[in-house]
Amino acid sequence: MRYISTRGEAPALGFEDVLLTGLATDGGLYVPESLPHFSVEEIRSWRGLPYAELAYKVMYPFVEDAIPADDFRKMLGETYSVFSHQAVAPLVQLDTNEWVMELFRGPTLAFKDFALQLLGRLLDYVLEKRKQHVVIMGATSGDTGSAAIEGCRRCEHVDIFILHPHQRVSEVQRRQMTTVQGDNIHNIAVKGNFDDCQRMVKESFGNQSFLGGKTQLAAVNSINWARIMAQIVYYFQASLALGGPDRSMAFSVPTGNFGDIFAGYLAKKMGLPISQLVIATNCNDILHRFMSGNKYEQHQLEHTLSPSMDIMVSSNFERLLFDLHGRDGAAVKDLLERAAKGPVSIEDYRWKHARKLFDSDAVDDKATCDTIRDIYEQNEYLLDPHTAIGVRAARNCRRDSAVPMITLGTAHPAKFPDAIAESGLVVKPQLPAHMADLFEREERYTVLDNSVSEVQGFIAKHWKNA
């Protein structure tokens, strides 16, 4: 399988090169030249498979040119054996035909573990094969950083530099990153917001001269295709658990960077019957404003109780725009260049097509807290603020009550005690046993100004062979 850039000017690459490249040389994101498609009969035959074997069925077409089947199966078995639940992504029922899929049973208690535990193993495999070293540079709004560090910290051929917005992630999220010890692990707190961190990563991938030609950058953010690929699987898992593919499913997805819901869109294109995809955002609602009014316009970023979605520039949205524009890279490039200068819209027929695919809702902090409290009082089930936004949006946007509605539970509530307290509940979510001493562990991170040159200088100085 070959991969092409959403801006149409970079060379097509194979899986190995896409894994290591991250951002395309023309500034675009890599997507498969074509998608595998599974029949209803084939999907039905996967019922009852263990999660790792289902992951093999869904993902192997994307990697078969690069990784032998037995090696990939082994990698997947190792990846999902570290999750704390035998089902890996268990479903919890909230109401009639309403479910939460718990995606926080991995080592760092967030859905990012599904992709980043695998990404670390993929990198190890490919870099060992090539005898190559890379520097991972990533930005996090909260959960990607800890999942990337946990997934990649044992990689022999990697140095990791993770940027997070200083004082704008929860304390648990920060400590999960900054208490992991290792000479190859570097946490950078940037005096800015997540969009500033993400911009620095993109600029650095576009010009890597600060590394002196001695190594290259690799991506862990969802600009890396391998992240999206791994997230497709749990849509199939949820559907098969609830009677799919013989009945359609609806999904509500808390999202800021559009990666997780784009994976659902791909699952639908690959043959999984999905009748509705709900984009659930907080008040940083650029995606909702586009879907509801065909206006893509950046506003001032607001700090909320759901910090992992405090994002205004949704990188993966470019992948959807590529499809909406008939895979015309030049049109996408022109649109995004105009979007950097001010509000943009797309042709009405393209926007109406997007509206057939997606619904959307923006949920403020008060409604988030109300939902956390209501669900707990109804079910004694505690939601983190991001999942609460997903549940609220699902209820506000639901098209058909006869279709099962599945909200992706993106993080463990213990990561966000302030939001739980703000909801008025006296219950205090507990960290699981393997993190019980998190607040006693030594932290290590560096605070830097909101300056790409300062961040690049730090990386150039501190990677192991500098």
d(CA 42, CA 117) in angstroms, rounded, equals 27
- Cβ contact 143:308 at 8 Å: yes
Residue 276 has what DSSP assignment? Answer: E
CA angle 393, 268, 306 (to 5 degrees): 30
- Cβ contact 320:353 at 8 Å: no
DSSP code string of 227-251: HHHHHTHHHHHHHHHTTTTSS-EEE
d(CA 126, CA 153) in angstroms, rounded, equals 16
DSSP code string of 26-40: TS-BEEESS-----H
Q: Which residues of 79-88 are buried (b: 16+ CB within 10 A; e: fewer)?
A: bbeebeeeeb
d(CA 194, CA 308) in angstroms, rounded, equals 9
Paired sense of beta strands 30-32 and 3-5, if any: antiparallel
First to last CA, the chain: 35
State yes or no: is 112 an active-site residue: yes
d(CA 32, CA 12) in angstroms, rounded, equals 9
- Cβ contact 86:187 at 8 Å: no
Paired sense of beta strands 185-190 and 446-448, if any: parallel
In 3D space, the residue among 456, 455, 438, 433 whose CA is nearest the CA of residue 446 turns out to be 455
In 3D space, the residue among 253, 243, 251, 248 whose CA is nearest the CA of residue 272 turns out to be 248
In 3D space, the residue among 134, 140, 12, 19 whose CA is nearest the CA of residue 75 turns out to be 19
Locate the DSSP E strands across 143-293.
158-165, 185-190, 216-218, 249-254, 274-281
* Catalytic residue of the set 57, 112, 295, 464: 112
Active site residues: 112
